Amino acid sequence: MITSLLTQGPQEPQRWKHWQLPEQASTFADDHDTLYTFVEWINYIFFFGIMFVLFYAVIKYRRKTPGQPPASVITHHTAMEVTWTVVPLIVVMVIFAWGWKGYADMTLAPADSIQYEVKAERWKWSFKHPGSTEFFGKEFWVPVNKPCQLTMSSTDVLHSFFIPAFRVKRDVLPGRYQTVWFQATLTTWKENVENEKQEGFHIFCTEFCGEGHSKMLGTVHVVSQKQWDEWMKPGAEVPWDPFLITDPEDPTYDEDREFNGNIVYGQSCLTCHTLDGTRSTGPSFKGLWTRNIKRLGLEGKTAAEQEAGMAAYITQSVRNPNAYIAETFDSPSMMTPFPPTSLNDDRVNDMIGFLKSEKLK
């Protein structure tokens, strides 16, 4: 009831920028930043007011002789005391009501919101876009000026989903669904530019979740309605499903797998495994293929046998990281297992192709 009394729904935002706050990229930002500025100025007024009085008093009423009495000994002044109780009370009630209203607007997503699913795990975000069946990390795309609702859950510990530019944040819990919604107002996606790095808005994890907490970054891209409509056509090529279809019969099978594997690496393995030989939370992927060919005794076997042996090992490592711990690393493993819902068999196959590639061998 309280919500319905105060909620008005998203309005056309005016856009301005507060020097401390990120750019205003959602319909929540304007009201949020206005309230922030209001309280900030109240802060400045009270703070500098107090400072001025203190500074003045300390200089003017400095004790100059040992026996100097105070200039006055009043211990009460009813009018002042009432004023400085009632005025702050009114001010904070205004701030409360304004903050409440802003929050209430954030809770009820419009009925026609575009639905996304978000998965948080250590240590990456992945997103399921409308019409898609797979989770893809670590970026997601939304159309401008359309409400979008995210249903989020964690597979392990607490995380928190934060997009500063949109002014939204919500803890993501294991065993429970949380929702958050927003309507983006600033487009970031550049169209018709091949191979140019696209910049979106930052996504951060803001609930401490372990070693990779600060590496759990993501990006949200805001695209124009036209671009979104194109992507929503059935069969369209979409950036959240960049994987090539790999076919063992294809001459480009290995290259395709390597291409896909590179993407999977960037999404799921980068946080803990390097590609240049440096040791991180987990062993580096460089030389992994060769090391394990030796370890598994596959040297001298045919290429097909080697591939089969390594495929079994890699699949096992991904699905059950505790099965084999690399030398010099601690047992039990720190690695989160990737069940087929996280990394399906195609993607594992891609990883095999990636690890097998010349530059990593």
Q: 13 to 32, contacts with other proteins by CB under 8 A? A: 18, 20-22, 28, 31-32
170 near other proteins, judged by CB under 8 A: yes
Strand partners, 170: 161
Report how far apart the first and last C-alpha atoms of the chain are (Å, whole number): 63
Q: How far apart are CA 170 and CA 351, in angstroms?
A: 32
Segment near other proteins (CB under 8 A); pick from 8-16, 82-90, 182-190, 250-258: 82-90
> Which one of residues 4, 5, 8, 70 is an interface residue with other proteins (CB under 8 A)?
70
233 near other proteins, judged by CB under 8 A: no
171 near other proteins, judged by CB under 8 A: yes
Tell me if residue 197 falls in helix, strand or coil: coil
Q: Which of residues 90-119 bind other proteins (CB under 8 A)?
A: 92-93, 95-96, 98-107
Q: How far apart are CA 325 and CA 248, in angstroms?
A: 30
79 near other proteins, judged by CB under 8 A: no
Q: How far apart are CA 155 and CA 266, in angstroms?
A: 20
228 near other proteins, judged by CB under 8 A: no
**Least distance in Å: CB of 286 to other proteins?**
14
Q: Which of residues 150-169 bind other proteins (CB under 8 A)?
A: 156-158, 160, 162, 164-165, 167-169
312 near other proteins, judged by CB under 8 A: no
Helix (H) or strand (E) holding 158: none
Which distant-in-sequence residues (6+ apart) come within 8 Å of 21 by Cβ?
A: 29, 33, 36
Neighbours of 5 (CB within 10 A): 8
Tokens read off for 255 = 């290259």
Site string for other proteins, 36-65 (x = CB under 8 A): x--xx-xx--xx--xx-xx--xx--xxx--
CA-angle at 27, arms to 23 and 30, nearest 5°: 55
Q: What are phi and psi of 205, to 5 degrees?
A: -95, 125
**Least distance in Å: CB of 42 to other proteins?**
7
**Least distance in Å: CB of 291 to other proteins?**
22
4 near other proteins, judged by CB under 8 A: no
Q: What are phi and psi of 109, to 5 degrees?
A: -75, 140
> Which one of residues 187, 212, 228, 324 is an interface residue with other proteins (CB under 8 A)?
212
Which distant-in-sequence residues (6+ apart) come within 8 Å of 296 by Cβ?
A: 309, 310, 313
Tokens read off for 56 = 């003045």
**Least distance in Å: CB of 229 to other proteins?**
29
190 near other proteins, judged by CB under 8 A: no
Q: Which of residues 122-151 bind other proteins (CB under 8 A)?
A: none
Q: Which of residues 235-274 bind other proteins (CB under 8 A)?
A: 266, 270-271, 274
Q: In the complex with other proteins, which residue's Cβ is closer, 76 or 234?
A: 76
Tokens read off for 153 = 């859950």
